[in-house]
Amino acid sequence: MHKRLRTIVGAALTTVAVTAALAGCSSSTGGTGGGGGNADQVDAALKAGGTLTYWSWTPSGAAQVAAFEKAYPKVKVKLVNAGTGNDEYTKLQNAVKAGSGAPDVAQVEYFALPQFALADSLTDLSQYGFDDLKSKYTSGTWGSVDLDGKLYGLPQDSGPMAMFYNKTLFDKYSIAVPKTWDEYIAAAKKLHKADPSAYINSDTGDAGFTTSMIWQAGGRPFKVDGTKVTVNLQDEGTKKWADTWNELVENKLLAQTPGFTDDWYKQLAGGEIATQISGAWFPGVIESGAKGGSGDWAVAPIPTYDGKTAVTAENGGGAQVVMKQSKNQALAAGFVKWLNSSDGSVNTFLASGGFPSTTATLTSSDFLATKPDYFSKQPINEVLKGASDSVASGWQYLPFQVYANSIYADTVGQSYANFSDINTGLKAWQSALVKYGNEQGFTVSAK
Amino acid sequence: MSSRAIQATRSGRTRRGKQTGWLFVAPFMVVLVAMLIVPIGYALYLSLFRDQLIGGNHFVGFANYIQLVQDSKFWSSFLRVLIFLVIQVPVMLILALVAALALDSARLHAAGFFRIAIFLPYAVPGVVAALIWGFIYGPQFGLTGSFNDLLGSDLLKPFTSTWILTSIGNIVTWEFLGYNMIIFFAALRVVPTELYEAASLDGAGSLRTIISIKLPALRGAIVIATIFSIIGSFQLFNEPNLLKTLAPNVIGTFFTPNMYAYNLSFAGQQFNYSATVAIVMGVITAVIAYVVQVRGTRQENR
């Protein structure tokens, strides 16, 4: 027992030592401090060199860092995978709260960005003249990083929504590709009647998907002005989406298989899920996860409510931000600029299956001419570029969207589970959000 | 050496003599303080404050505790683990008892193999076990899907709200059956053989031996196993948390008290309230475990 205890103490001490060493590594050395800067400082910092810590889960992260270090030999970047999405945000939030331990640069998805911006934990990159880069990016992605006149990051990728569908299945039951949501629901009924094991879509109730769909329907349920927040999950656009989607939920026309699970991939490959309304990053997911579906799938613009004007929303995607805790913000900004606007970096990112945020790439002939075998050589990027051009503007996420999404299954998810009115779930979600926001010191009102 | 130095050494030696005992328990005390007392103290401290995203940290006294008493989410999660406890623990312990008695009966062929086979799941980490079972339960991909296909119906639905607690109970039973069986089996091994000889001389059959000798001998072990199982049930976390990705609408953020505490702090930054949940659950668990222990030993003394 005695010996075992000593081993435990030893292990504990080792852990402490390692943690201390890691903490030591993460603090950057030399360079200029924070506060007001200018464009020249970034170039000077890149020349002077230094050490940066970068948190990211992007598959191409290591390759991009290697290319950057080759271009700027004096800069060392320590790449850390601190978890995907929420796992990283938790650690980042803890570091912000503790006042130390945050990286210099971090990957943050658009929906989570306002939360960190509000906590005053991100560097405003407009001080380095990065405002000038606006024309390089799509308006949808720029709108996600440019909040209240401050530039909190540079867009890494984007996820304009489109409709990915199993063309073989549609042809088999001679169902026309839907252009409106009414046609989509009709197609759902026809398909499920023809083959009871096939469903038009798989949706167990996903907060990211729901907010994007509300965005497309014209709903703007979250209005944020500093710490004043209005939540109205019954506004016209939100109701429009909910009433439409109710047709699918209440009539059990959705396969309620959670996304990114083995079951989900199996149904995608096996012709049991006919469409996915998803961000433009979806081809990478389905190509690697549902190989059996190769040759069956195609992409079309997302259905609309009126069938006339093309309109879509962003679904997923994120930016790289510079943390205020960084001791070398100018250098960190230089890295972010290189990461998300240099050709070398963007191409490395594309090669790993990402969907770009830069207009130059989106309009390049190479990009548009890409014809993946999985999609029967359809030039899918033409459709996806069209989607990226028709993203509706004016959407805002909550400054506590990470939490909001975490309780989605408790509220709206219950409507899905019971095949009942989504509006009931949305109302429950709203009251939970109002309660939480007010407890956290925001002034949240429901409308 | 000056006389003062000698004095110092002498008094030092006496002091050392008194402190030798402390020195021996020091490694334990260090771990106890660092790993138990300090975290509990910190949790208690945290539970008296409320830290907001806007407005910072301030002392709120017992407001978190008052809120908890009125929190229907907490009580629904508590009720859920209580139901789990009342059904799963007896089932598991009776199965473990039967297995231990069977192994001890010496009538089983390849007893060593059975002992290892039943114990083996305990050696599988809880996380891995939940992943394995998640795969088995998969309605499309997994064994359940194949079984349903075979029958041509949706007979097995492990991920519906009706069945999810049973599904989790099944995993937990599978995991801990062997562990409890080993506790019982070890207790049976220390029964002196003279007792069995005396019993057989008195004409007692197997059943009589079990009721009159083996079960009384096991009473202490059963109490211990029950206490461990109660604590385990109240701390239910790994299995539901991992199955949550497969059944997000059925397993909510407050499915068990531990999941609730986890999600409060890691998704909602509500560390203070989360600490309150942890403390209240700790107290409830300690009280119930204590009551079981007192009752169990009283019966033993009777």
Residue-level pLDDT at A5: 39
Q: Could you say which of A205, A261, A403 has the minimum Cβ distance to residue B267?
A: A403
Q: Which of A287, A250, A242, A255 is nearest to A269 (CA)?
A: A287
Dist CA A339 CA A334 (whole Å): 9
Asked if B242 and B131 count as a contact pair (C-beta separation under 8 A), the reply is yes
Q: Tell me how far apart the alpha carbons of residues B12 and A61 are, in angstroms, rounded to a whole number.
A: 60
Report the amino acid identity of residue B18: K
Rounded to 5 degrees, what angle do the CA atoms A424, A425, A426 make? Answer: 90
d(CA B152, CA B171): 25
Nearest to A406 among B53, B55, B267 (CB): B267
Domain that holds residue A305: 162-313+382-446
Judging contacts by C-beta atoms under 8 Å, the chain A residues touching residue B268 are 403, 406, 436
Same structural domain for residues A196 and A274? yes
Report how far residue A102's alpha carbon sits from residue A196's, in angstroms, rounded to the nearest whole number: 51
The four Cα atoms A384, A388, A394, A400 give a dihedral, to 10 degrees, of 60
Diameter over CA atoms, chain A:
77
DSSP helix/strand/coil, B108: coil
Q: Which residues of chain A have pLDDT under 70?
A: 1-37
The token pair that represents A427 in the structure block:
């109302």
Instruction: Decide: A320 and A106 in contact? Cβ < 8 Å.
Output: yes
- Measured at the alpha carbon of residue B164, what is the angle toward residues A404 and A260, in degrees to the nearest 5? 55
Work out the minimum CA distance from A220 to partner chain B, whole angstroms. Answer: 23
User: Shortest Cα distance from B274 to chain A (angstroms)?
Assistant: 14
Tell me how close the Cα of A436 comes to any Cα of chain B, in angstroms: 9
Q: Which of A257, A272, A417 sits opposite B161 (nearest CB)?
A: A417
A78 and A148 in a single domain? The answer is yes
One-character DSSP codes across A11-79: HHHHHHHHHHHHHHHHS--SS--SSS--HHHHHHHHHH-EEEEEE---TTHHHHHHHHHHHSTTEEEEE
Q: Alpha helix (H) ranges present in chain B?
A: 3-32, 38-46, 63-69, 72-104, 111-123, 126-137, 143-151, 164-189, 193-201, 206-209, 215-234, 238-243, 257-266, 271-301
* pLDDT given for residue B301 in this prediction: 53
pLDDT at B142: 81
pLDDT for res A4: 41
Q: Which residue has the tokens 């080993």?
A: B182
Going by C-beta distance under 8 Å and a sequence separation of 6 or more, which residues neighbour residue A38?
A127, A128, A129
Same domain, A280 and A296: yes
Residues of A in contact with B241 (CB under 8 A): none
SS3 A206: coil
Q: What residues of A are in contact with residue B270 (Cβ under 8 Å)?
A: 439
User: In this structure, which amino acid lies at residue A226?
Assistant: G
- CA gap B174, B126 in Å, rounded: 11
Beta carbons of A282 and A276 less than 8 angstroms apart: yes
Neighbours of B109 (CB within 10 A): 6
In a domain, A372, yes or no: no
- Provide the residue-wise pLDDT of chain B in tens; the chain has 302 residues: 445 555 555 555 556 667 888 888 999 999 999 999 999 999 999 999 998 888 888 999 999 999 999 999 999 999 999 999 999 999 999 999 999 999 988 788 888 899 999 999 999 988 899 889 998 998 877 889 888 888 888 888 899 889 999 999 999 999 999 999 999 999 999 999 899 999 989 988 888 999 999 999 999 999 999 999 999 999 999 999 999 988 999 999 999 999 999 999 888 889 999 999 999 999 999 999 999 989 887 755 54
A256 contacts B248? CB cut-off 8 A: no
- Cβ within 8 Å, pair B267-A86: yes
Written as one letter, the residue type at A305 is Y
Q: Is residue B65 within 8 Å of residue B276, measured between CB atoms?
A: yes
Q: Are residues A94 and A77 in the same domain?
A: yes
User: How many domains does one find in chain A?
Assistant: 2
Token digits of residue B145 = 């899907």
Domain match, A297 and A321 both = no
List CB contacts of B86: < 8 A, sequence separation 6 or more.
Answer: none
Length of chain A: 447
Q: Is residue A373 part of a domain?
A: no
> What's the pLDDT score for residue B7?
52
The minimum CA-CA distance between B4 and chain A, rounded to whole Å, is 37
Q: Kind and range of the H or E element at A155?
A: strand A154-155
The answer as to whether A371 is a domain residue is no
For residues A421 and A122, what is the distance between their CA atoms, to the nearest angstrom? Answer: 40
Could you say which of A2, A266, A413 has the minimum Cβ distance to residue B27?
A2
- CA-to-CA dists, residue A380 to A46, A282, A309, A368, A375, angstroms: 38, 11, 20, 8, 8
Q: Are B269 and A403 an interchain contact pair (Cβ–Cβ within 8 Å)?
A: yes
DSSP assigned state of A254: E
Assess whether A187 and A150 both reside in one domain: no
CA atoms of B181 and B95, how far apart (whole Å): 8
Residues A149 and A245 in one domain: no
pLDDT digits (tens, 9 = 90+) for A77-117: 999 999 888 889 989 988 988 889 999 999 999 999 998 99
- Give the separation between CA B231 and CA B283, rounded to whole angstroms: 11
Give the whole-angstrom CA distance, residue A275 versus residue A179: 13
CATH of the domain at A184: 3.40.190.10
Residues A146 and A172 reside in one and the same domain: no
Cα atoms in the 13 Å half-sphere on the side-chain side of B239: 27
> Across the interface, which of B35, B140, B267 has its CB nearest the CB of A257?
B140
CA distance B278 to A190: 51
d(CA A232, CA A238): 9
A295 in the same domain as A190: yes
Determine the Cα–Cα distance for residues A258 and B289; give it in Å rounded to an integer. Answer: 38
Cβ contacts of B165 within 8 Å, gap of 6 or more: B80, B83, B84
Domain for residue A439, yes or no?
yes
Q: Provide the CB-side half-sphere exposure for B71 (13 A, CA).
A: 23
Q: Are residues A264 and A409 in the same domain?
A: yes
- The pLDDT score that the predictor gives to residue B205 is 87
Residue A368 lies in a domain: no
Helix (H) or strand (E) holding A278: strand A275-278
pLDDT of A3: 40
Q: What is the reported pLDDT for B16?
A: 62
Q: Tell whether A375 is covered by a domain.
A: no
Q: DSSP character for A228?
A: E
Question: What domains appear along chain B, each with residue ranges and CATH number?
Answer: 3-46 (no CATH), 67-301 (1.10.3720.10)
Mutate to test the interface with A, among B23, B46, B54 (most CBs of A within 10 A): B54
Verify that A174 and A210 share a domain, yes or no.
yes
Query: What backbone torsions phi and psi does residue B151 show, to the nearest 5 degrees?
Result: -80, -20
What pLDDT was estimated at residue B163? Answer: 93
Q: What is the pLDDT of residue B139?
A: 83
Chain-chain contact of B31 with A267 (C-beta, under 8 angstroms): no
Residue B105 DSSP label: T
**Is the domain of A277 the same as that of A406?**
yes
